[in-house]
């Protein structure tokens, strides 16, 4: 492992030199490439340097332990340093895990109201607001691709593209059924209701990721419905694309332009087909084990939002936080960090068991 880390550190120094080269600085494309490569290995190099520093301190403490006057103090220092060494070694092993090739991708976020009628639609809208605010704190861009609103201001369905750095890496564990327990605003008797919404996080698929044969598509146009001004119900700007081999249907009517609606629909279709292919590959690897990474699996509830108890519990990792107001306002960082750490640790266990 040390040899590999030394090699990565040398690569890091090489990238720093290249980024300081005026020729590279004058070439935006090359500069971005090297800067991205540097950013990817920087956390690992930082931990490795801390690890080497701790090893040096351990060696020094052992020398001091040979002095009778310093032995007790040195032993205490050694215990503290050994704990730090083990923690750093674990962090390094996690950082050395094979990267998910989709981690740097943008995502297509799909949220749909589940059981619970209008309350489920209201919850779906609140989840979308939560993810939108989290995106804002990370400097990501959110583009709504499609919406279907309910009668009381909720969302039956919303599909959005979220663009930015490591979006999929941070949101990939959000796929699943989200359950809410609270007293709906429309409930006169004060009874607590349970409703659900489904969230799917799909890595955005580029044309190079998934090929779609035009012969496999049936494209229908129709008049838009709902808010939209004079063009509604007067022009055939709305588009419905059916992928015949899989039966996937994507409709888009938010834009007044048929061309723009078709482009948005194709973006969603491409991502759904890419997700299907990822799921197929994962099932081939382990039929009896479903990874949460990139599957968009919706069959089981993953999280409960209990408003009366001001509690959010993620059932996959048995983690609970009582900061429900902050989380619903976009403070998802702690939850996502806990999930990432858990699944990385599980992956490390699997690799260690195999080796």
Q: Answer whether 94's CB lies under 8 Å from 344's CB.
A: yes
Higher pLDDT, 159 or 354: 159
Instruction: Flag whether the pTM goes above 0.85.
Output: no
What pLDDT score does 228 carry? 46
What would the mean pLDDT of 22-44 be, rounded to a whole number? 88
Q: Quick one: CA torsion of 105, 106, 107, 108, rounded to 10 degrees?
A: -130
Question: What are the boundaries of each domain within the chain?
Answer: 2-95, 107-203+291-354, 214-284
Strand partners, 221: 239
pLDDT in tens, 146-160: 888 888 889 999 999
Q: Residue 303 has what pLDDT?
A: 95
Distance (Å, whole) CA 321 – CA 331: 11
Q: State yes or no: pLDDT of 295 exceeds 60.
A: no
Whether 107-203+291-354 and 214-284 share one fold: the answer is no
Give residue-wise pLDDT tens across range 2-20: 888 889 999 999 999 999 9
Four-way CATH pick for 107-203+291-354: 3.40.50.300, 3.30.70.1660, 3.60.21.70, 3.40.50.150:
3.30.70.1660
Token digits of residue 168: 């999929």
Residue written as tokens 């390094």?
92
Q: Which of 218-222, 248-252, 292-296 has the lowest mean pLDDT?
A: 292-296
142: tokens are: 């959110």
Token pair 């032993």 in the structure block, residue: 75
Q: How is residue 216 written in tokens?
A: 């496999």
Long-range CB contact pairs, 181-189, < 8 A, 24+: 181/304, 181/305, 181/306, 181/307, 181/308, 182/305, 182/306, 182/307, 182/308, 183/307, 183/308, 184/118, 184/119, 184/122, 185/122, 186/118, 186/119, 186/152
* Helix and strand element counts for the chain (H, E): 9, 11
List C-alpha distances in Å: 286 to 203, 272, 281, 343. Answer: 21, 21, 9, 16
pLDDT at 54 exceeding the cut of 60: yes
The domain over range 214-284 is classified in CATH as 3.10.450.50: no
Across 67-71, average pLDDT = 82
């Amino acid at each position: 492992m040390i040899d590999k880390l030394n090699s990565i550190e040398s690569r890091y120094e090489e990238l720093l030199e290249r980024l300081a080269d005026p020729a590279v600085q004058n070439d935006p494309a090359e500069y971005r490439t090297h800067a991205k490569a540097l950013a990817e290995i920087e956390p690992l190099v930082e931990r490795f340097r801390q690890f080497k520093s701790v090893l040096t301190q351990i060696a020094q403490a052992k020398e001091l332990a040979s002095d009778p006057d310093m032995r007790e103090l040195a032993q205490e220092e050694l215990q503290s340093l050994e704990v730090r060494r083990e923690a750093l070694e674990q962090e390094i092993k996690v950082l050395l895990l094979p990267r998910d090739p989709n981690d740097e991708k943008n995502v297509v976020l799909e949220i749909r109201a589940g059981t619970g009628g209008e309350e489920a639609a209201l919850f779906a809208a609140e989840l979308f607001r939560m993810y939108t605010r989290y995106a804002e704190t990370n400097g990501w861009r959110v583009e709504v691709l499609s919406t279907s609103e309910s009668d009381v201001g909720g969302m039956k369905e919303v599909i959005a593209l979220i663009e930015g750095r490591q979006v999929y890496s941070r949101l990939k564990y959000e796929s699943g059924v989200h359950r809410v327990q609270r007293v709906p605003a429309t409930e006169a008797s004060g009874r607590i209701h349970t409703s659900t919404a489904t969230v799917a996080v799909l890595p955005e698929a580029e044309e190079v990721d998934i090929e779609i044969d035009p012969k496999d598509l049936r494209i229908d146009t129709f008049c838009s419905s709902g808010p939209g001004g004079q063009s509604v119900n007067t022009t055939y700007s709305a588009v419905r694309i059916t992928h015949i081999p899989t039966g996937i249907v994507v409709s888009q009517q938010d834009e007044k332009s048929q061309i723009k609606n078709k482009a948005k629909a194709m973006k969603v279709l491409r991502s759904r087909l890419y997700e299907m292919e990822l799921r197929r590959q994962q099932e081939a690897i382990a039929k009896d084990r479903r990874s949460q990474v990139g599957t968009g699996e919706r069959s089981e509830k993953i999280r409960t939002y209990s408003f009366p108890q001001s509690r959010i519990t993620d059932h996959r990792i048995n983690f609970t936080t009582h900061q429900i107001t902050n989380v619903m306002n976009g403070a998802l960082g702690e939850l996502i960090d806990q999930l990432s750490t858990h699944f990385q640790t599980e992956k490390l266990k699997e690799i260690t068991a195999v080796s």
